[in-house]
A and B are shown apart, each in its own frame.
Chain A
Amino acid sequence: MKGFSLLSKYSNTIHNWRLNYSTASRSSHYDIIISGGGMVGFAMACRLGRSDCLANKRILLLESSNKKQLKLDSYNHRVSALNPGSKSLLESLGAWQHIEKTRFGSVKKMQVWDACSDAAVTFGKADLSEDIAWIVENDLVQDSLMKELDKIEQVEVQYKTKVTNYRLPQNADELVQVTLEDGSCLTTDLIIGADGFNSGLRQTIKTQYISYDYNQMAVVATLRISEGDENVTAWQRFLPTGPIALLPLNNEFSSLVWSTDKITAKSLLDLPPDVFTDRINQALWNNDDRNPMVQNVSERIFQMLKVCRVNSLEGNASDIRQLPPSVVEIKGRQAAFPLGLGHAVDYISNKAALIGDAAHRVHPLAGQGVNLGFGDVIALNDTVCEAVNNGADHGSSLYLKQYQSNRQLHNLPVMASVHGLHLLYGTTWTPLVMLRSIGLNVFDSLSSVKSFITQRASV
């Protein structure tokens, strides 16, 4: 009697979950669904697909655009500076071998200087013996990951598939429901949002999103540079309007990333190639923004520190102040993309997690954007594997919370620093210019501090 009453008490619950599970037929249910197929989305799919403990899981990646064909006749404008952590990830996924066989730029040295005073910092070994970053076209990274993904049977990719709605579960027993543009519905135990800074999944999670419009755009182009030594240096000059950077692609070409206000950016986009080339050279070389007083003080301090450094045993790259190359011409047309800061207060929700730009968006001045995203990929994969190895549901909030706190602990300081640099170098107010110039010169001479920063930015 007691047993019967208990059973009837639960019959409603049984009816409800049957409704949930009856639609979850074999073909429409996936253990994990990744929404968004950029570099970070494809890396996530590859990493999950290659984890031994997840070998029996069905994984689906949904990408709204068509499958891209890689074009290699000229350099693609959108490139990324990959740090050692990202390179290791791509190596572990088997994607790096495709990049290596195709093309990439090695960065063995980085020189960053201030247009207001010529204070500068350099990173890297003086003898240029070590790679500190790699410049790879975004399309090539994506294509390499796609090639590896094709080899993984349990991961399916659906192109030209747009998600129109996400329904997250109210409790641990329900599934996530994903509605597609054609009206069909998929279910999953874990939805991963890799759908960029306008993430639909993040909007569904309804987390507080801290955003700041820089009112800037990054103008990108491929440039032929003047011939000289091996092109293995990344250059970045902080102008009051924003940093201009030259990232080495090979001995002949560099990639331009020029962050500036929207009005200037739009006018740069309209310029004919020769005028545009002149403007780039002016931005790299002219001294219009120089503050003479600050320049004076900064130069004296630089000389003082140089004397101190002569006594140190290490070959510091700072001892040799190189001059950037001049730009000969631009290859193809320039393009631009908007810049902003963004951070989701919650990276997770019930059976849902955000990675990459969906969770956080930074200014490209420190080249950290995609590196943070790849870091998310590694962390989320580790979390999912830990859950599975402990017999837990891979969408368990007990584990997703761990992913969130690990990544936020790492990402927030980086984002704060990048934003801080943007603010610091966005002014021409003399006291701040003086402070940052002296600070930069001093920082440049502290090799142990520089190594620490480099190490932190490498993972």
Chain B
Amino acid sequence: MLLKHCVTSVRDLSIRNYSIKSTLSENEIQKFSKMANEWWDVNGPFNGLHSLNKLRVPFIRNGICSHQKSAVVNNSPTSPLAGCSILDVGCGGGILSTSLGRLGASVTGIDPSEENITAASLHANKMRLQNVTFEVNTIEHFQALNTSLSTTFDAVVASEVIEHVENPKFFIQTCTELLKPGGSLFITTLNRTPASLALAICGAEYILNVVPRGTHDWNKFITPGELIDYINSSGCQLRQLCGMAYNPFINKWKWSGITSVNYAVHATKSSQVVTDDFIQNLN
């Protein structure tokens, strides 16, 4: 089974259909919907995501507080993200959204899986978090809906999501369109390298069983170079790129200089917004 997976991965390198203007993959949605009950079991199949919060929450908090001081002008030590609006794309069961909500941000979590959103909403209600809301939606539909409302966010987060979408370039573009000028984009994902095939797929899913089998498709992993290209072409500027290392034996993440398996990116949308009118006038 493992060998078959490796062979298929190496052979089908161009499996992604970049021509489709869609981020949706029915297969991917099904994978996670089946495990909807287990999102909030800290020792369950999502324990790696719970412990990843120790890295990604401070990463997001510090990124916003240092680059968008105006967004958090009324913050306090108990609510460092008060006043900030965040969109969590592919929020799953709300593991990240809930934590950001506790820090005072107004969080909107979207996910195409109804089961996931139900689990996320239920948990947020139990925690009495009124500043966190969830919707069943894809990023492209959400963006289309919000264009008419001119709703934009101080930050858009897509953590451990882009490796599950069909068209990552389109995904980044759509995320950026939902950002305010100067807003922050936070991505955490996996790199497409032999190391990540060995560790994240073979090691994590087949040998140690710390990640459910079939969770990741190596062909969909994105290199930092590719991600930075998508980010630049959508009008954002890279601020930070950091590697992350995971110790599955003790379920612990730490920052690393090596980006060959997991990495995190912080980018900001340029403050100068070039409008269509301006371009027309030039012509």
Contacts and interface: CB of A to CB of B under 8 A. Distances in A.
A52 interface: yes
Interface stretch (A13-21, A365-373, A432-440): A13-21
A389 B58 contact: yes
A132 to B, nearest CB: 36
Contact of B77 (A55, A396, A397): A55
A338 B160 CA distance: 56
Contacts of B41: 171-172
B78 A53 contact: yes
Interface stretch (A2-10, A134-142, A416-424): A2-10
A397 B42 contact: yes
Interface stretch (B96-104, B186-194, B237-245, B257-265): B96-104
B125 to A, nearest CB: 8
B122 interface: yes
A287 B270 CA distance: 85
Contacts of B76: 55
A391 B77 contact: no
B57 interface: yes
A14 B122 contact: yes
Given A6-B115, A14-B122, A398-B51, A391 B98 contact: yes
A172 B42 contact: yes
Contacts of B118: 6-7, 10
Contact of B40 (A53, A173, A386, A392): A173
Interface string B218-238: 000000000000000000000
Contact of B54 (A6, A55, A390): A390
B114 A2 contact: yes
B99 A390 contact: yes
A10 B114 CA distance: 13
B126 interface: yes
A13 B40 contact: no
A312 interface: no
Contacts of B98: 391
A2 B36 CA distance: 15
B123 interface: yes
B72 to A, nearest CB: 14
Task: Pick the most buried of B58, B77, B98: most chain A CB atoms within 10 A of its CB.
Answer: B77
A56 interface: yes
A391 B78 contact: no
A88 to B, nearest CB: 22
B174 interface: no
A54 interface: yes
B74 to A, nearest CB: 14
Contact of B114 (A6, A21, A171): A6
A397 B43 CA distance: 9
B115 A54 contact: no
Contact of A3 (B58, B103, B114, B123): B114
B58 A52 contact: no
Interface string B49-84: 011011001100100000000000000111110000
A398 B50 contact: yes
A172 B42 CA distance: 8
Interface in A358-390: 386, 388-390
A7 B115 CA distance: 10
A56 B78 contact: yes
Chain B CB within 10 A, most for which of A3, A56, A392: A392
Contacts, number: 61
Interface residue SS majority, chain A: helix
A396 B122 contact: no
Contacts of A396: 42
Contact of B122 (A13, A171, A390, A392): A13
A391 B123 contact: no
A152 to B, nearest CB: 15
Contacts of B43: 397
B99 A392 contact: yes
Contacts of B77: 52-53, 55
Nearest to B36: A6
Contacts of B54: 386, 390, 398
Contacts of A3: 114
Contacts of A388: 78, 102
A111 B123 CA distance: 59
Contacts of A398: 42, 50-51, 54
Nearest to A390: B57
A172 B122 CA distance: 13
A392 B126 contact: no
Interface string A263-295: 000000000000000000000000000000000
A191 B98 CA distance: 22
Interface in A388-411: 388-393, 396-398
B168 to A, nearest CB: 27
A99 B177 CA distance: 61
A393 B50 CA distance: 11
B40 A54 contact: no
Contacts of B101: 391
Interface in A1-39: 2-3, 6-7, 10, 13-14, 17, 21
Interface in A143-171: 171
A283 to B, nearest CB: 50
A391 B10 CA distance: 40
Contact of A391 (B42, B57, B114, B115): B57
> Among the interface residues A3, A10, A391, which one has the most CB atoms of the partner chain B within 10 A?
A391
B42 A390 contact: no
Nearest to B119: A10
A390 B78 contact: no
B80 to A, nearest CB: 8
29 contacts: A2-B114, A3-B114, A6-B115, A6-B118, A7-B118, A13-B122, A21-B126, A52-B77, A54-B78, A55-B77, A56-B78, A172-B40, A172-B41, A172-B42, A173-B123, A173-B126, A386-B54, A388-B78, A389-B58, A390-B53, A390-B58, A391-B57, A391-B102, A391-B103, A392-B53, A392-B57, A397-B42, A398-B50, A398-B51
What are the 8 A-B residue pairs with the smallest beta carbon separation, nearest first? A391-B99, A52-B77, A391-B102, A56-B78, A390-B57, A391-B103, A173-B126, A391-B57
Given A6-B114, A396-B42, 9 more contacts: A2-B114, A52-B78, A388-B78, A389-B58, A391-B102, A391-B103, A392-B53, A393-B127, A397-B43
